[in-house]
Structure 1
């Protein structure tokens, strides 16, 4: 026999939300956020002095370490390409 402290027993089941009203959205990625480029995980060990400088630049520029490292790599690769092009012209 139920007592006054027992929670009420539901007499009907609440209907499920249709697919478009939150259920599908909760499972997928956030709406309005563009999917970024494909990235692969990379682990490296850097000198403590470089880590301190990276931390300072992250704070100064307001960018994440990922973007700063990617920008540095892109500039490094561009310089390598320029050097290789100059070497080919000199041959």
Structure 2
């Protein structure tokens, strides 16, 4: 389970546009993120545009998962948390 947030991509208009774009346009060159690569090709170095996608390193320390679970549970229990309106704690 994970949550990945990329602040530059949080504009709802951009998300709605890309969500509605046909898959063939998003992978027109048979690679992931084709549309993003094409849109930024004149803004970023080619070494960045052509870079192979890589995953994030995994955290191996079990205490990290425990701490993360405890903090998230506390956040769910806090009805005054800033993100509370975005969360559904009753399972609906």
- What is the TM-score when the length of structure 1 is the normalising length? 0.28
Higher helix share: 1
- What is the TM-score when the length of structure 2 is the normalising length? 0.28
